[in-house]
């Protein structure tokens, strides 16, 4: 049984990871509930939830002084790019300072740590148009969010080379699946679309606002494949001091995405087109050969992932009635 710390562990990705590990391991979750929700976590004796911010030095110091962890997953972040443009100072504290602080606390108190996994983003590639994006592609971070992710990622990897702290980093492409919070306009587009379908099925008036003509495409990766990737990166020897793209290697445009869901749900979602969102990237696609070399194989095509997501949502609707 391993001792695992997951920061941001009440959020969409963090809670799915926490529930996965809690079947066989002891998990501590730290989350300030700014985006996450305690209800995302299974009721399990193996999960301890601590409400607090990763920017709270005394909280984190106490935690790392009094527990010896095998694995730490640092997922806590202000995930909205737009928010980082609005509030660069505050988001820098969460997206960068907390990582730097965590590295130092690990150096001081976590001699037996097997791995720190830091979660970065495809945002680091910015708007440089060459596709697909490999880890060694041009890096052009354009927002405080992307700059913080890239800087933090560099420190994380460098702490392995400089101080032999066992670390790895991943760059998420567009993750989707059950429990993704659709509340903000900058929430993952699939969670927003799913929310509109739910309204439609409940006979509420609704429509999906599509920014642009829907020809923009993304490499959408299903949450279960992301959990597989995180576990693999955390436990592989080859991944020490390395950074990996996490995607599927296949992209779909928004029009085809909506068409696929229309078919799955046997309905027709009303779509309203609006001008493109400023700063939007047109196409995004991951080269996943590096992570494949350590054993990763995404198991869900977009259709298979959407099918699972839809059945989860339909089951939820039924249990809410």
Tell me whether residue 145 is one of the annotated catalytic residues.
Answer: yes
**Catalytic residue of the set 145, 159, 160, 176:** 145
Residues that bind ligand UD2 (rule: CB under 6 A) add up to a total of: 21
Q: Which is nearer to ligand UD2, 150 or 160 (CB)?
A: 150
Q: State yes or no: residue 273 binds ligand UD2 (CB under 6 A).
A: no
C-beta of 125: minimal distance to ligand UD2 in Å? 7
Q: State yes or no: residue 277 binds ligand UD2 (CB under 6 A).
A: yes
Q: State yes or no: residue 123 binds ligand UD2 (CB under 6 A).
A: yes
Contact code string over 103-122 relative to ligand UD2, x by CB under 6 A = ------------------xx
C-beta of 216: minimal distance to ligand UD2 in Å? 4
Q: State yes or no: residue 84 binds ligand UD2 (CB under 6 A).
A: no
Q: Which is nearer to ligand UD2, 115 or 196 (CB)?
A: 196
Strand pairing class (217-218; 252-253): antiparallel
For the segment 17-76, give every residue that binds ligand UD2 (CB under 6 A).
Answer: none
Active-site residue set: 145
* Contacting residues toward ligand UD2, per CB under 6 A: 79, 81, 121-123, 174, 186-189, 192, 209-211, 216, 218, 254, 277, 280-281, 284
């Amino acid at each position: 049984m391993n001792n695992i710390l997951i920061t941001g562990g009440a959020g969409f990705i963090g809670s799915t990871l926490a529930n996965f590990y809690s079947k066989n391991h002891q998990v501590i979750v730290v989350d300030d509930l700014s985006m996450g929700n305690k209800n995302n976590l299974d009721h399990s004796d193996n999960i301890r939830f601590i409400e607090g911010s990763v920017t709270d030095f005394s909280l984190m110091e106490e935690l790392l002084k009094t527990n010896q962890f095998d694995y730490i997953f640092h997922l806590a972040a202000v995930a909205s790019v737009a928010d980082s443009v609005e509030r660069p100072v505050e988001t820098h504290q969460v997206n960068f300072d907390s990582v730097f602080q965590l590295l130092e606390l690990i150096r001081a108190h976590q001699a037996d740590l097997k791995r720190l996994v830091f979660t970065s983003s495809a945002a680091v590639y910015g708007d440089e148009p060459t596709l697909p994006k490999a880890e060694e592609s041009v890096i052009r971070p354009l927002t405080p969010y992307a700059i913080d992710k890239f800087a933090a990622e560099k420190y994380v990897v460098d702490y392995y080379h400089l101080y032999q702290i066992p670390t790895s980093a991943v760059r998420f492409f567009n993750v989707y699946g059950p429990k993704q919070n659709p509340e903000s306009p900058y929430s993952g587009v699939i969670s927003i679309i799913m929310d509109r379908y739910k309204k439609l099925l409940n006979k509420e008036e609704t429509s999906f606002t599509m920014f642009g003509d829907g020809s923009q495409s993304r490499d959408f990766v299903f949450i279960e494949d992301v959990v597989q990737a995180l576990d693999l990166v955390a436990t592989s020897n080859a991944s020490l001091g390395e950074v990996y793209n996490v995607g599927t290697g296949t992209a779909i445009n928004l029009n085809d995405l909506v068409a696929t869901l229309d078919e799955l749900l046997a309905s027709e979602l009303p779509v309203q087109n609006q001008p493109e969102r400023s700063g939007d990237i047109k196409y995004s696609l991951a080269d996943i050969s590096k992570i494949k070399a350590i054993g990763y194989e995404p198991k869900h095509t977009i259709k298979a992932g959407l099918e699972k997501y839809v059945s989860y949502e339909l089951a939820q609707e039924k249990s809410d009635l």
